Amino acid sequence: MTGIQGRFRIRLGDFKLDVDFQLPGIGITALFGPSGAGKTAVLRCIAGLERAPGAYLEVNGERWHDDAAGLFLPTHRRALGYVFQEANLFPHLSVRRNLEYGWKRIPISDRQVAFDQATELLGVARLLDRSPARLSGGERQRVAIARALLTSPRLLLMDEPLAALDRGSKAEILPYLERMHEELSIPMLYVSHVPEEVARLADHMVLLEQGKVRAAGPLFDTINRLDLPLAHGDDAMTVIQAAVAGHDEQFRLTHLDFAGGRFFVARQPWPPGHPIRVRVHARDVSLTLRHQEHTSILNIFPVTIEELSEDNPSQLMVRVSAGGTPLLARVTRKSAAALGLRPGLTVYAQVKSVALME
Amino acid sequence: MTVDLAPVWLSLQLATATTVILLVLGTPLAWWLARSASWLTGPIAAVVALPLVLPPTVLGFYLLVALGPHGVIGGVTSSLGWGALAFTFPGLVIGSVIYSLPFVVRPIQDAFQAIGQGPLEAAATLRASRWDRFFSVTLPLSRRGYLTAATLGFAHTMGEFGVVLMIGGNIPGATRVLSIAIYDHVEALEYSQAHLLAGGMLLFSFMVLLGLHIINKRLERIGA
């Protein structure tokens, strides 16, 4: 049986965690929610750092915790990697010996990730002889990630690995995480309270609220559900999977095609066929009844209105479908009334700006 | 003028034996005090700290009673055929271990607490078992605590007087340690011998503390 099945009920001080989940055993799954939602608690239970009474946990066919059967594997006997918020490097060991710490402790036959592969993938090869005290925050976290990878984990747990870093270091690490996603087949659980990171990295997401699972599903279907808080407010967004279709050399544009249409963006270096995630903020999408000819906006597609929901007293969040691809648009109540927006109506979505997630 | 150096050697032996025993016994005790959530940590910590506040004669008096032929400890050793422990070298070691206990346990406990959960949890996720974590993470990160503990335990035992006098008396070669010998010389108005031993003790203590300071600075620089 592939996938991760878990059930944890535990009281930690005033906080109560009560979750029951089934996650895919591949790709990156984001555990998303406000602070205090229980994201870290779930990760700690999965790692065995916290022991929830009566719990059950199975990871890709291997049972790690089943209190009903009296089974509880201690943390050091679970084939997992854990990246903490603080890198938690061993200050008395050099970077090299930090990396070797876990690597030496697994049987040689279990070593799926080679030492040079991990140091190259995370760009830490030139730091090997340094002491952790002499690394920057971003370097320290990259070493911590490489150290976890070198135990060839069957599940990689990341607890807000970017939270303790400044903006520059965050931007420095994200491309490494994307490379890991592309080049390794290790399933990852990624805890975050930042929608940006989730939109950029995750394939699947779990929304946690007050110790409970509020929603779970593939990223593209979950991030725009109007019944969830994620699809409301200024940062509400959709993520669309697109691919390079071609380039317009005269105007220096790149065409990105997705199921419901085509985006025109500034010229990109990638060849046709290159997949790319496109993020569209709801606040950058407007709706018109007719196709506007006289506008500077290039990205206009026909869409069908699926659902409307109040965002705040003066604005509505509208979910539309562009040939099956969901998109969010935020409009004022006044405009919605003037245009007669209602489910089933076909209108045109004008997208003012998009962000490419790479 | 002749100075009998036997008391110096005896003190060194006593301090070495006491320090080794305290490091071995003090480690699990300090670990428990640093990590346990039990309500017993409060009372036990207070008992460990008692020698800091008790007059040595009070401690010595109870030890004398306990180590004597009818005491709790002495009774057991007597029935085993080893004889009572009062006025013997092993008795002195037991007394010194109790007397110097807080000087060794406290620095180790502080070092354990300063490490926190982070590095140990990281080690667990990197496949290190409980013992492995202790030897590969806890001990090396507690080096400075152990150094302080060993130095304080050793120096404190070298200088002890009250407890030794109470439970050991003044038997040459068995219980006549340095501090007692100095006292004897002063009693007998042999000031030059007293000067030699006391001055040596002063110099020794100073060197030990200076050495500790230098090594600590060095360990701090390499980040341990």
Q: Are A122 and A248 part of one and the same domain?
A: no
Mean pLDDT, rounded, for A150-172 = 90
Centroid of chain to Cα B109: 15
Per the CB < 8 Å rule, is A133 touching B223? yes
Q: Are A246 and A203 part of one and the same domain?
A: no
- Give the domain extent around A303: 237-356
Residue A104, in any domain of the structure = yes
- Give the domain extent around B14: 6-221
Per the CB < 8 Å rule, is A91 touching B122? no
Q: What is the pLDDT of residues B143-171, one digit of tens each?
A: 999 999 999 999 899 888 888 888 887 88
Q: Are A77 and A166 part of one and the same domain?
A: yes
Give A263's DSSP letter: E
Q: Are A273 and A172 part of one and the same domain?
A: no
Residue B80, in any domain of the structure = yes
The per-residue pLDDT of chain B, averaged, comes to: 89
Report yes or no: A58 and A73 within 8 Å, Cβ to Cβ.
no
Position A121 pLDDT exceeds 70:
yes
**Helices vs. strands in chain B: H and E counts, helices first:** 12, 0
| CATH code of the domain covering residue A214 | 3.40.50.300
Q: What is the pLDDT of residues B50-104, one digit of tens each?
A: 999 999 889 999 988 888 888 888 888 888 888 778 788 888 999 999 999 999 9
Q: What is the pLDDT of residues A97-107, one digit of tens each?
A: 999 999 999 99
How many domains does one find in chain A? Answer: 2
> Which of A193, A222, A251 corresponds to the end of one domain?
A222
Residue A232, in any domain of the structure = no
| CATH code of the domain covering residue B74 | 1.10.3720.10
Residue B1, in any domain of the structure = no
The H-or-E segment that residue A142 falls in is: helix A137-149
Residue A178, in any domain of the structure = yes
CB pairs under 8 A between A and B: 68
Residue B197, in any domain of the structure = yes
Position A132 pLDDT exceeds 70:
yes
B126, closest residue in chain A (CA to CA): A102
**Chain B contact set for A148 (CB, 8 A):** 125-126
The pLDDT of residue A336 is 93
The A28-32 sheet, strands edge to edge: A80-83, A155-159, A188-192, A28-32, A204-209, A212-218
Length reported for chain A: 358
pLDDT greater at residue B219 or residue B16: B16
Residue A24, in any domain of the structure = yes
Q: How confident is the model at residue A166 (pLDDT cuts 50, 70, 90)?
A: confident
A155, closest residue in chain B (CA to CA): B125
d(CA A47, CA A290): 55
Per the CB < 8 Å rule, is B223 touching A81? no
Position B224 pLDDT exceeds 70:
no
Per the CB < 8 Å rule, is B223 touching A92? yes
d(CA B130, CA B92): 35
Q: Are A255 and A211 part of one and the same domain?
A: no
Mean pLDDT, rounded, for A282-309 = 91
Reference B145, options B103, B100, B117; nearest CA is: B103
Judged by a CB distance cut-off of 8 A, whether residue A1 touches chain B is no
Q: How confident is the model at residue B120 (pLDDT cuts 50, 70, 90)?
A: very high
The pLDDT of residue A78 is 96
Q: Are A317 and A260 part of one and the same domain?
A: yes
Centroid of chain to Cα A202: 3
The pLDDT of residue B109 is 96
The pLDDT of residue A151 is 94
Q: What is the pLDDT of residues B166-188, one digit of tens each?
A: 888 788 888 888 888 999 899 99
d(CA B47, CA B26): 13
Following CA atoms A299, A304, A309, A310 in sequence, which dihedral angle do they give, to the nearest 10 degrees? 50
The minimal CB distance from A131 to the residues B119, B121, B223 is found for B223
| CATH code of the domain covering residue A321 | 2.40.50.100
Position A167 pLDDT exceeds 90:
no
d(CA A69, CA A256): 53
The minimal CB distance from B118 to the residues A86, A106, A133 is found for A86
Reference B101, options B165, B26, B180, B188; nearest CA is: B26
Q: Are A327 and A250 part of one and the same domain?
A: yes
The pLDDT of residue A347 is 95
Residue A231, in any domain of the structure = no
- The gap between the terminal CA atoms of chain B, to the nearest Å, is 49
Residue B52, in any domain of the structure = yes
Mean pLDDT, rounded, for B187-198 = 91
Residues 6+ apart with CB under 8 A from B91: B63, B67, B85, B167, B168, B175
**A323 three-state secondary structure:** coil
The pLDDT of residue A168 is 83
Report yes or no: B159 and B100 within 8 Å, Cβ to Cβ.
no
Per the CB < 8 Å rule, is A82 touching B125? yes
Neighbours of A87 (CB within 10 A): 24
Residues 6+ apart with CB under 8 A from A115: A99, A100, A103, A150
Q: Are A126 and A90 part of one and the same domain?
A: yes
Mean pLDDT, rounded, for A213-235 = 89
Centroid of chain to Cα B79: 28
Q: How confident is the model at residue A329 (pLDDT cuts 50, 70, 90)?
A: very high
Position A50 pLDDT exceeds 90:
yes
Task: Name beta bridge partners: A29.
Answer: A189, A204
The pLDDT of residue A1 is 61
Mean pLDDT, rounded, for A257-276 = 91
- ipTM confidence score: 0.85
**Chain B contact set for A75 (CB, 8 A):** 121, 124-125
pLDDT greater at residue B6 or residue B22: B22
For residue B7, give how far its alpha carbon lies from the nearest alpha carbon of chain A (Å): 41
* Structure token pair of residue A278: 């496109």
The pLDDT of residue B86 is 78
Judged by a CB distance cut-off of 8 A, whether residue B42 touches chain A is no
Q: Are A23 and A124 part of one and the same domain?
A: yes
> Which of A199, A222, A245 corresponds to the end of one domain?
A222
How many domains does one find in chain B? Answer: 1
Residue A89, in any domain of the structure = yes
The pLDDT of residue A129 is 95
**Chain A contact set for B123 (CB, 8 A):** 90, 101
Q: Are A42 and A163 part of one and the same domain?
A: yes
d(CA B175, CA B181): 10
* Type of residue found at A127: L
> In Å, what is the CA distance from A30 to each residue of A23, A190, A195, A203, B149?
10, 5, 10, 8, 47
Q: Are A269 and A206 part of one and the same domain?
A: no
Residues 6+ apart with CB under 8 A from A311: A232, A233, A236, A317, A330
Mean pLDDT, rounded, for A212-238 = 89
For residue B148, give how far its alpha carbon lies from the nearest alpha carbon of chain A (Å): 18
The pLDDT of residue B223 is 55
* Structure token pair of residue A337: 């009334």
Q: Are A241 and A333 part of one and the same domain?
A: yes
Which residues, numbered 143 to 162 in chain B, qualify as contacts with chain A under a Cβ-Cβ cut-off of 8 Å? 143
The per-residue pLDDT of chain A, averaged, comes to: 92
Residue A228, in any domain of the structure = no
Judged by a CB distance cut-off of 8 A, whether residue B137 touches chain A is yes
d(CA A259, CA A263): 11
Q: How confident is the model at residue A143 (pLDDT cuts 50, 70, 90)?
A: very high
The pLDDT of residue B1 is 65
The pLDDT of residue A195 is 87
Position A182 pLDDT exceeds 90:
no
Mean pLDDT, rounded, for A182-204 = 90
B224, closest residue in chain A (CA to CA): A92
**Chain B contact set for A101 (CB, 8 A):** 123, 126, 128, 136
The pLDDT of residue B212 is 86
**A349 three-state secondary structure:** strand
> Which of A222, A251, A281 corresponds to the end of one domain?
A222
**Helices vs. strands in chain A: H and E counts, helices first:** 8, 21
The percentage of chain A sitting over the pLDDT mark of 70, rounded to a whole number, equals 99
Judged by a CB distance cut-off of 8 A, whether residue B139 touches chain A is no
Mean pLDDT, rounded, for A69-77 = 95
**Chain A contact set for B219 (CB, 8 A):** none
Residue A327, in any domain of the structure = yes
Q: How confident is the model at residue A69 (pLDDT cuts 50, 70, 90)?
A: very high
